[in-house]
Chains A and B, each alone.
Chain A
Amino acid sequence: MTEPAVETTMEGSVQSSAPNTPWRRLEPRTAAASGVVALGAGAAGGAPTLVGIGIGDASFPMAAVLVVAGVVLLVGAVVVAELVRLARTRFRVGPERVELCAGVVVRARRSLRCERIRSVEITADPVLRVLGLAALRIGTGTAASASEKPLELRALRRADAEALRRTVLDPSAANRRTSNQAADRSDSTADDTLLTSWDPSWLRYAPLSTLTVLLGVVVPGGLWRAADAVGLGDDATTRTVDAAHTMGLVGSLEVGAAVIVVVGVAATVALRAESWWHLRLAREPTGTVHVSRGLLTSRSASLEERRLRGVVLVEPLLPRLVGAAGLEAVATGLSSGGASGRRHDADRSDPKELVPTAPRGLVERVAAAVLGESVVPSATVSWRAHPPAARERRVGWATASALVPTVALAVLGVVLAPGFFALAAVALVLAVVVGRWWGRAGYAALAHGVTGPWVVVRSGMAVRRTVVLRRAGVIGWSMAQTPFQRRRGLVTLWLTTAAGDGRYAIRDVSEPAALTLAEEVLGVTASGACVPVS
């Protein structure tokens, strides 16, 4: 059946598919880049120690010598290790395979068939960028086992990395290129269709996230820790406490909230700018969607278009209220990171993200362009609502969660003072109102439909996600029923795909609707699982 995407073997046992392709080496200047990073780490560790001791202290000269010697040793060790690694690593890109031979003690040779390559990412941190280098990472959809982890080339010259990316994704172009290299290269950049590019005004959406509060708390906390590390912690603490005394309770709460908001906004805007500045989303003539972005660290990812199974419109609550949405790709070779546990926070490098939070109309136009449609399918689909029982379930769960404070206050009323019962009564009214609103809004978001070659699924209240999935990309289904759902005749249907999260849920749909949808999407009768309603 299907061969594994990557074969890992000891050196010598792989039959070379293209013996005439020369082996290549990584760029030696990578060692310098790693040395600079090590120097930075050493300085970051050593400087606070020296500051803490203080220049006037008698032990300072000795400490300074030790710290400098330690940093020099660290940098030297890193550079030597990198030089050995670079000398022991070679790779070649043939018309059919990408081969990598690496390992200092145990030599492993990995061979990856070009047709199995699903994504190519290029990243360059600031140090690599200054040196004109970039790291290349070649992914093959299945991240099932360690032997199939992406193949990483760190680092190459920037231009080489770009050329290699195009070669790997389109081997036939590579063959053409060998005969007519210069002409082809200028062609391939000229024919790109720009789908969207960065607009600085999108930064206004960055603070509309829970990250704002989190960073607003974490960043000052981190600063205090840093101050503490260099011996200024006690001073900072006494000053803060004194200031709080002079301002009183209300005043210090106000100032505290203001600090959290200001710092949180600044931090989220900075993060968003760092990871999304210079965004360029383009379709290349080879049929590849290419995303490049990043202010300090530049990242670029290529998704082969025929591996693109769909897109997800992501609308968290606050951006949704101001008419903004983000866009993600559903492509094989891009797991959402859930399986490998590599999910970073929303603003880190993640090749599946195509557009950050931006005006919804624009995001929908980009989505349509990525999918090759004139209008995004979620706008043209005739939505099928879910049964009212789904609304009852949502209102029920939301109310139950909202009742937690009521119960806590009532317990306090029993244990501490009856005064808490009044608060519990207020919390009860609030819980019923909020639970009802939240549940109904969640139900309103719940819908699915089929239009042309697409199946569209929408759900979620805190984060509303609209998944547009190519029907041909759905490779199976599963359904599940909890006892609660069974009583109300509801099921959860999952459409399984080779792409993205692996399966997408359509929650709380009626049994007949689930079977109809499964049949429509897969084109296979669900006869093995259903009986007509008599």
Chain B
Amino acid sequence: MSTVTVPIGPSRLRPPREALDPRVRAWWRLHVVAPPVLAAVVLAILALVLPGAGAWLITALVAVAALGVATAVWLPGLWYRRHRWELTDDAVYTRGGLVWIEWRAAPLARVQTVEGLQGPVQRWFGIATLVVTTASAKGAVTVVGIDDDRASALAAALTRRTQTVPGDAT
């Protein structure tokens, strides 16, 4: 029998240990690129229909396309480096955000439900979202992109573990 005691003392925040599944970058890229592509298509159609305003519309189209390409190239990588998560014996931790960095923690003893969610596009990429909810309306901890098999295994394991702890402090 050995118990590990973590000293309560001055400590600093550190990033959680695990990175997301690398495929999440492609999924994010799709998300980021979709609105500018739609906007560009609309602008292109308008430019064809309204030749009078053509120069204007093409300028706007180029601007939108440039913005879309820039965000699609940069954002997913930045997000990928910033988003991290970790599961310990006590709690689930996540970190996310670009400018506004946010850490979240949900102690397993207070977890109500654990779900693996997978949208159609996520399925195509083979990733899933793990949602760990507590009784608080604002306490859900969401891990956006992890391997889908792993997500369902984690959801099942966490559900078993949280069931053994009675009460959810509601």
Q: Please name all residues of chain B whose beta carbon is closer than 8 Å to the beta carbon of A483 when the two chains form the complex.
A: 99
Q: Which of A496, A522, A532 has the most CB of B within 10 A?
A: A496
| Cβ-closest chain B residue relative to A512 | B10
Q: Is A518 an interface residue (CB 8 A)?
A: yes
Cα distance, A339 to B34, chains bound together (Å): 30
Q: Is B135 an interface residue (CB 8 A)?
A: yes
Q: Please name all residues of chain B whose beta carbon is closer than 8 Å to the beta carbon of A502 when the two chains form the complex.
A: 136-139
Looking at the complex, which of A121-129, A415-423, A474-482 is the stretch in contact with chain B? A474-482
Cα distance, A503 to B104, chains bound together (Å): 12
| Cβ-closest chain A residue relative to B106 | A476
Are the C-beta atoms of B101 and A533 separated by less than 8 Å? no
Partner of A480, one of B97, B135, B137: B97
Partner of A526, one of B11, B136, B159, B163: B11
| Cβ-closest chain B residue relative to A143 | B137
Cα distance, A508 to B109, chains bound together (Å): 28
Cα distance, A478 to B105, chains bound together (Å): 6
Q: Nearest chain B CB to A21's CB is how many angstroms away?
A: 26
Are the C-beta atoms of A533 and B139 separated by less than 8 Å? no
Are the C-beta atoms of A532 and B139 separated by less than 8 Å? no
Q: Is A410 an interface residue (CB 8 A)?
A: no
Q: Nearest chain A CB to B159's CB is how many angstroms away?
A: 7
Q: Is A530 an interface residue (CB 8 A)?
A: yes
Q: Please name all residues of chain A whose beta carbon is closer than 8 Å to the beta carbon of B163 when the two chains form the complex.
A: 1
| Cβ-closest chain A residue relative to B114 | A1
Are the C-beta atoms of A528 and B169 separated by less than 8 Å? no
Binary B-proximity of A208-237 (CB < 8 A = 1, otherwise 0) = 000000000000000000000000000000
Are the C-beta atoms of A476 and B104 separated by less than 8 Å? yes
Partner of A482, one of B7, B91, B100: B100
Cα distance, A494 to B112, chains bound together (Å): 19
| Cβ-closest chain B residue relative to A332 | B170
Are the C-beta atoms of B170 and A498 separated by less than 8 Å? yes
B residues within 8 Å of A by Cβ? 6-14, 16-17, 86-88, 90-91, 93, 95, 97, 99-107, 109-110, 112-113, 134-139, 141, 159, 162-163, 168-170
A residues within 8 Å of B by Cβ? 1-2, 141-142, 144, 307, 332, 335, 339, 472-483, 486, 491, 494, 496-498, 502-503, 511-512, 514-516, 518-520, 522, 524-533
What are 25 A-B residue pairs whose CB atoms fall within 8 Å in the complex?
Answer: A2-B113, A2-B170, A307-B170, A473-B169, A480-B103, A491-B13, A498-B135, A498-B170, A503-B138, A512-B11, A516-B8, A516-B9, A516-B10, A516-B11, A520-B8, A522-B107, A528-B16, A528-B91, A528-B105, A529-B103, A530-B12, A530-B13, A530-B14, A532-B11, A533-B10
